[in-house]
Structure 1
């Protein structure tokens, strides 16, 4: 499909490509799936690191910090898509291959569980390395203070708010991945990802894998450096954030994007087998 000079795959072609890729992803060997998911967790963590660095600059206004922070956070998704890694939030689109009866329920759940676990390992591993590197001390400790502020806000979110914030986040993430698959070049994919990814970050929506990095960094900062007077960031708060955000991400990606496009393009017969 050539729209305004851009040679992109059509939405029906994207559907077929996502189903084909979904079969491959769901049937990856365990070792490969796990290693690729560890990489994705670290990639998203690096995007979150970049975001916090922007947020720590007091000279920027709210909108500038959020929009610029969202733009640099997109690095994580660029790396996942271009370098090739397995990210739980993006892999919610595997539901399209499942709905088309190209993978089984067992294969779908196996992929989601293994990838989510690998993402957690990658994000936690990066968090440890970042704290050991001394990076949070940058900008006279403003970076560390920003991690603590972000984590405190996340761990105090009510369940419903965290769920719906996660739903909106992954709806945008999966739309971004959907559009990136339409692209035929690295540049196409980068442009397609930039706006939906930066939008969810600027809006403050919740991404489960990013939170697997951001909250543990804050916990490690408090453990190793103190920061008297700041609200304690505890394991219970971490888990109380992750559970509703994961559910929201899963709902937004698999139902609101994958499910909707499946109905439009597969169930209505706009594409065939």
Structure 2
């Protein structure tokens, strides 16, 4: 926190040099409006990550299950919008807003989502690279990923039951699920890097967003949906639905979606956000 204090001190000194008649309240407000430094954002997320790494298995599992179930509403929102909108070039932009719904519920509800943890718990590891911390990260990743996927599977299985939604919505859900696996292994992996990159960037931006956090979530995740960048949990709900209606096989889910998407999301979050932002903070401290 020293860096932020130094910036505040510098601001006070600069204000004192100006030949302006500013009240104490004016000076305080100016200082409050100074954007937080990268170090402050880094430390906010790192401390949160430290807390997550210490949570018991049951707490992580229940939170991860809730997140997997919540992400199902991204599929529902997209399908409902797609079924009700005319087939126009602009329709996909509106449908992509539906993709944000699950993320809004998960992030604002403080539920455990695997891709958020490609940043949150990696910063503590980059700060303390002992084997003990590494094993805690692997433990959290395994629990959260498994519980996220279980929640996604349960949600998709329920939605796929006849009569839960009207036929036109069911058709839209199936089309979305098939579109997710429409690509080869390497293309899916590369596109998944962008998804992991964007979601981790969203997490990085949230501490500074304050009252605008909702807009940050909506804008970033809408871009993920509009760009059709595969996300391991949101996409799993969509493909699980296609599996449930027998439009996609389990080998296709694992080979064409899960494996390349998981690798890509991790690479995007860990290397392009966590490592780079940690590096800039480390250099500032030199």
Task: Give the structure-2-normalised TM-score.
Answer: 0.82
| Partners of 1:80 and 1:36 in 2: CA distance | 9
| Aligned partner of residue 85 in structure 1, secondary structure | coil
| Aligned partner of residue 173 in structure 1, secondary structure | helix
Q: Does the 8 Å contact 1:180/1:190 carry over to 2? A: no
| Aligned partner of residue 247 in structure 1, secondary structure | helix
RMSD over aligned Cα, in angstroms?
2.3
Cα deviation, 1:2-23, whole Å, max 9, x if unaligned, reads 89x9786443211101110111
Cα offset, 1:131, TM superposition = 2.5
Cα deviation, 1:193-216, whole Å, max 9, x if unaligned, reads 121111111011101101221111
| Aligned partner of residue 68 in structure 2, secondary structure | helix
| Aligned partner of residue 167 in structure 1, secondary structure | helix
Residue number in structure 1 paired with 2:228: 204
**In the TM superposition, what are the counterparts of 1:73-92 in structure 2 within 5 Å?**
73-92=99-118
Residue 21 to residue 56, structure 1, CA distance change in 2 (3 Å): same
Match of 2:171 among 142, 145, 151: 145
| Aligned partner of residue 113 in structure 2, secondary structure | coil
Residue 10 to residue 81, structure 1, CA distance change in 2 (3 Å): farther
Q: Does the 8 Å contact 1:8/1:183 carry over to 2? A: no
The answer on 1:255 being equivalent to 2:271 is: yes
Q: Is there any run of 5+ residues in structure 1 with no aligned partner, and where?
A: 223-231
| Partners of 2:35 and 2:209 in 1: CA distance | 5
Residue number in structure 1 paired with 2:260: 244
Q: How many residues align?
A: 254
| Partners of 1:196 and 1:159 in 2: CA distance | 24
Cα offset, 1:54, TM superposition = 1.6
Q: Does the 8 Å contact 1:167/1:252 carry over to 2? A: yes
Q: Does the 8 Å contact 2:116/2:203 carry over to 1? A: yes
Residue number in structure 2 paired with 1:235: 250
Match of 1:34 among 39, 44, 61: 61
Whichever of the two has the greater Rg, that structure is 2
Residue number in structure 1 paired with 2:242: 218
Residue number in structure 1 paired with 2:51: 24
Q: Does the 8 Å contact 2:160/2:170 carry over to 1? A: no
Residue number in structure 1 paired with 2:124: 97
Q: Is there any run of 5+ residues in structure 2 with no aligned partner, and where?
A: 5-28
Q: Does the 8 Å contact 1:19/1:96 carry over to 2? A: yes
Q: Does the 8 Å contact 2:180/2:228 carry over to 1? A: no
Cα deviation, 1:62-110, whole Å, max 9, x if unaligned, reads 3x33222222221212212211111001111121111011771101111
Cα offset, 1:49, TM superposition = 1.7
Q: Does the 8 Å contact 2:60/2:143 carry over to 1? A: yes
Cα deviation, 1:190-237, whole Å, max 9, x if unaligned, reads 011121111111011101101221111122234xxxxxxxxx311111
**In the TM superposition, what are the counterparts of 1:155-174 in structure 2 within 5 Å?**
155-174=181-200
Q: Does the 8 Å contact 1:144/1:218 carry over to 2? A: no
